[in-house]
Structure formats: C-alpha cells, structure tokens
C-alpha cells in the first residue's frame, strides 16, 4: 500500500471537509495528497496525531526506499553554545527521496518561537553555496566567534560587513558575524506529539 492509499484509508468515511476539520489541514491539500502529492513530514504528523496512530504507519515502505537521517546534536535557539550530543535520539528513518543525504538537529531554547520550539527536530541539508539566497530566510548556521565554533537557527540578513542573525522572539538581540563556516537549508520539521495536544 503506497502513501496516498494509506492517507485515504485513515480518512475512512469522512468527507474531505470533515477530515480537514479533524486534522487542521486544508481539504484542498488532503485531496492533493490522495492524488499522489507527497505531504511534508509535519503534515503527516498532524494526520497521525489526529487519528491516534503512529507516524511510522506511513513509513512502512520498501527498505530500499527508506533513508536514515542521523540526529547529530542540538541547535540552540536562544543562546549560541554548541551542543554535540550525537546519541541523544535514535536516527530517523524516512521514506522521502528529498531527505536523502540530510542530517537532523534538535532545537533547544526559545529564540525562534512561534516558528520552532524547544524539542522540534529540524531536517537539514548543507547548502552548496554558503551564502544565503536572499535576505530573511531561515537557516541553521555555523560560524566562528572568538576562535570557537557556534551554531544556531536564525533568520539571516546580509549586511555591508557580514551577516545579521535575527531571532523570531524579539527579546533576543541580533547577532553579527562575518565568518559563516556552514549554512544549512531546513528541508523538514518534525514536531513532538505534545505540540498538537497543547496547541489544537
């Protein structure tokens, strides 16, 4: 059974509008998913949570189609100390081709709330071009500061003398750097189950 058939099966006898109300996903998006469009991982998590099933149900594909994503550590959202804890969580195994050759980091801190929260897992891929494509995009960034490697998830803006790293939560001050060493694009987000239980 492929992914679109599994989504149709969990919808059951509900209309798309009824299923939309249950999952918090638009009925137009649900129609596209059942027609074969691959939903984002966070949308699958919403469907799984609203139906009381594990998201693993959707990932029961052929082994050759599964991609292991290592969770390599923590990414600060609130302060900029590196957390290297490669064994905090087991690797993710996801069936989507777009996640091949990705890694994952877990958010810690509150500087990116209402976008990312403490405990969220970001699936990231290193950018070939280490310069942001345009101002205001969100990246996981690594840079050197006082001979120490630091890492954070921030909005990135170009400045005349380097880059300005901006938080979603405005109580946190902007960070300035002229020495970005690595830039990662965020290609997926996995939310803890309790996020839906407390915000729905």
What is the spatial distance between Cα 17 and Cα 90, in angstroms, rounded to a whole number? 36
Write out the DSSP string of 79-115: S---B--TTSSPPEEE--GGGTT-EEEEEESSTTTTT
Domains in the chain: boundaries: 3-60, 67-194
- The CATH superfamily of 3-60 is lambda repressor-like DNA-binding domains (1.10.260.40)
Q: How confident is the model at residue 64 (pLDDT cuts 50, 70, 90)?
A: very low
Q: How far apart are CA 96 and CA 1, in angstroms?
A: 15
pLDDT in tens, 33-50: 888 887 877 888 889 889
Angle between helices 3-11 and 41-51 (to 10 degrees): 30
Cβ neighbours of residue 113 closer than 8 Å, sequence gap 6 or more: 77, 168, 169
> Do residues 167 and 111 touch, judged by C-beta distance below 8 A?
yes
| Fold observed for domain 67-194 | Umud Fragment, subunit A (2.10.109)
The tally of CA atoms less than 13 A away on the side-chain side of residue 166 is: 13
Give the span between the Cα atoms of 197 and 99, in whole angstroms. 27
- The answer to whether the peptide bond before residue 154 is cis (omega within 30 degrees of 0) is no
108-164 tens-digit pLDDT: 888 898 888 888 888 888 888 767 777 889 999 888 777 777 888 999 998 888 899
**Cα 120 to Cα 134: distance, rounded to the nearest angstrom:** 25
* Per-residue model confidence as pLDDT tens digits over 170-188: 899 999 988 888 899 988 8
pLDDT surpassing 60 at residue 81: no
**Can you give the pLDDT at residue 80?**
43
pLDDT higher than 60, residue 79: no
**Minimal CA–CA distance to 179: which of 143, 148, 153, 152?**
143
- C-beta of residue 144 within 8 angstroms of C-beta of residue 178: no
Q: Does the pTM of the predicted model rise above 0.85?
A: no
């Amino acid at each position: 059974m492929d992914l679109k058939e599994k989504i149709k099966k969990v919808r059951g006898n509900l209309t798309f509008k009824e299923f939309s109300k249950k999952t918090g996903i638009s009925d137009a998006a649900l129609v596209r998913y059942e027609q074969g469009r691959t939903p984002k991982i966070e949308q699958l998590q919403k469907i799984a949570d609203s139906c009381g099933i594990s998201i693993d149900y959707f990932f029961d594909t052929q082994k050759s189609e599964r991609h292991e994503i290592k969770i390599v550590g923590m990414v600060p959202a609130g302060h900029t100390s590196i957390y290297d804890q490669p064994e905090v969580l087991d690797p993710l195994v996801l069936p989507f081709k777009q996640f091949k050759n990705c890694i994952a980091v877990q958010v810690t801190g509150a500087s990116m709330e209402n976008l990312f929260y403490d405990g969220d897992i970001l699936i990231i891929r290193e950018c070939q071009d280490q310069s942001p494509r345009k101002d205001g995009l969100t990246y996981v960034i690594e840079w050197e500061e006082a001979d120490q490697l630091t890492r954070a998830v921030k909005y990135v803006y170009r400045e005349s003398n380097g880059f300005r790293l901006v938080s979603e939560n405005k109580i946190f001050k902007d960070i300035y750097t002229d020495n970005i060493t690595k830039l990662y694009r965020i290609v997926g987000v996995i939310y803890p189950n309790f996020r839906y239980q407390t915000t729905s």
